[in-house]
Amino acid sequence: MNDQRLLMQMLEESGALRRGHFLLSSGLHSEAYVQCALLLEDPVRARKVGGDLAELLRQFHPDSVLSPALGGIIIGHEVAAGLGVPFRFTERKGEEMGLRRGFSLRQGERVVIIEDVVTTGRSTLETAALATSRGARVVAIGAIIDRTAGRDPFDVPFRSLLKLDLPSHAPADCPACRAGAVPAEKPGSRPEAATARGTEARVERSS
């Protein structure tokens, strides 16, 4: 079994790949959602996935790994363990992304940004911009799952373990909303409530 088939099997068996009507953190609606926390709750799976992603990024010779909270923390830590480098994470306070808890980046530090799932890449780009503003150099971006549908939003190399073509829609164009489905569920970790069907979703930070 190749690594992509194994990862897909782990997503299914862990219940991480869900079907329904969801409001993604990008503000888009989708009939499918990947809850990577369920995939990563088993430390053995987390170490396996993190190690595989680390191997994809080793060629960029990072000095450290940086992830946006909350979704990127577990996988970011496991990638850092696989690479043998320090791990740090960014946090949002209001609309501002910041480094807290005593974390810092040095001038010229080679950083890889790690996410669990990338859809629009918004929070990833914010994290990369923060690293650059502190003098670090973002050399690559990695994720367990690429949901960009080929719309790579980054200007540095982007590597993922699996590409999933799970269609997403603006709320006004959502087939489930048009069909009168139950309101979109907001399954992620951020506190914003899901919008009712047919209403415009707030654009949130993406995974």
DSSP-derived 3-state class of residue 51: helix
Domains of the chain: which residue ranges? 3-178
Please name which of 183, 199, 202, 181 lies closest in space to residue 191, comparing C-alpha atoms: 202
Question: Would you place residue 189 in the very low, low, confident or very high pLDDT band (cuts 50, 70, 90)?
Answer: low
* Paired residues of 158 in beta bridges: 141
Contact 97, 69 (CB under 8 A): no
Does the pLDDT of residue 25 top 80, yes or no? no
pLDDT for residue 2: 62
% pLDDT > 70, the chain: 89
> Which range, 4-8, 34-38, 111-115, has the best average confidence (pLDDT)?
111-115
pLDDT for residue 155: 92
Does the pLDDT of residue 200 top 50, yes or no? no
* 70 prior amide bond cis, ω within 30: yes
Does the pLDDT of residue 199 top 60, yes or no? no
User: What topology is assigned to 3-178 in CATH?
Assistant: Rossmann fold (3.40.50)
Question: Would you place residue 98 in the very low, low, confident or very high pLDDT band (cuts 50, 70, 90)?
Answer: confident
Strand order across the beta sheet in which 110-118 lies: 96-99, 87-93, 64-68, 110-118, 137-146, 158-163
